[in-house]
Amino acid sequence: MRAAASAALLAAAALAPSLGAQTAWHHEKPAGTPHAVAFANPELTESSGVAASRTQPGVLWTHNDSGNDAVVYATDTLGRDLGSFEVTGATNVDWEAITVGPCRPAAARSCLFIGDIGDNLGNRPAITIYRVPEPRVEHGSPHRRPTARAAAVRARFPDGPRDAEAMLLTSRGDMLILNKGGDAIRLYRIPAAAWLGRRTVTAADLGPVPIVPERAALRLVTDAALAPDGVSVAVRTYREIFFLRLEHGRLVPARPPTACDAFGLQLQGEGVTWIDARHLALTSERTFIQAGSVAVISCPST
């Protein structure tokens, strides 16, 4: 067993010698005893991404992934049903990520950015990111309402199709995407100017992310979130949350390099978003023994 484990570690290092394989990640347990709360909306079964609203305190936006309707759901950290909204002009091929940010060039308004970026079979010639003005949550409104018509950007990866589930929006309006794993985890950028054109753009490869993927250890990236400070980044895998920093267009380990162990809290953990500078909201898909859920955690070093 020990020899096999050593061989696996050597293989991972050989596959990705420049990925920061020597990063000594310090693993911590979440503060307190966090617990997951099931979603009240029975339609919300495959929450694959989550984003905390910055204009409507307490509201979380999430969505189902492939094979489901083009709908975003409003909820909160108690899992309550705050309404659902059909995204006009959008199609859900494989929605895997969502974030919030200014609607450019109308920067005063808040928009949802939805990443149709999943590609389990590795055969999509292009991905799509939708942008739609953030709906207003109104208590007592009809259960499902349409949004304004979504704008869309189509993009391709420079090194061929990539399965991706994580997306960040920078303060400059650039979209950053992390692929799920495979042989390496890499960071790609779609510039803010892509929203001004109609052609499919090619994302720029910004290089490796200092997390070595391990499928057997469930270390595959399922989401990422940029903190309100515009620098701190949480990268979620099925069992851990890695804390990094966005510096000069690259993701580097936080100081000290810290990972939070969230394994067991949610069996099919997918989404992550910052509620504030210290607390994260996590969402999960439904499994055969556990409902889709939301949880709040903090790690001592965050």
Check residue 142 and give its pLDDT: 61
pLDDT of residue 22: 63
* 277-288 average pLDDT score: 93
Q: Which domains does the chain have, with CATH numbers?
A: 25-297 (2.120.10.30)
Q: Taking 60 as the threshold, does the pLDDT of residue 17 lie above it?
A: no
Q: What is the pTM of this model?
A: 0.90
Query: Cα–Cα distances in Å, from 156 out to 35, 49, 91, 124, 131?
Result: 38, 21, 17, 9, 17
pLDDT score at 171: 92
pLDDT given for residue 229 in this prediction: 94
Is the model's pLDDT at 5 over the cut of 60? no
To 10 degrees, the CA torsion angle through 288, 294, 295, 298?
130
Q: What is the mean pLDDT of residues 14-30?
A: 65
Q: How far apart are CA 178 and CA 210, in angstroms?
A: 12
pLDDT exceeds cutoff 70 at 87 = yes
Give the pLDDT confidence score for residue 6 in this predicted structure.
33
Percentage of residues of the chain with pLDDT beyond 70:
91
Amino acid at 178: L
pLDDT of residue 8: 35
Residue range 88-146, pLDDT digits in tens: 999 999 999 999 999 987 666 999 999 999 999 999 999 999 999 999 998 766 678 99
Question: 58-80 pLDDT, tens per residue?
Answer: 999 999 999 899 999 999 999 99
The whole-number average pLDDT for the span 19-42 is: 85
pLDDT score of 19 more than 80: no
- DSSP per-residue codes, 18-74: TS-TT--PEEEPPSS----EE-S-TT--B--EEEE-SSSTT-EEEE--TTS-SEEEE
The pLDDT mean for the chain works out to 89
Report pLDDT digits (tens) over 159-192: 999 999 999 999 999 999 999 998 899 999 999 9
Mean pLDDT (whole number) for 255-279: 92
Query: Is 302 a residue whose pLDDT tops 80?
Result: no
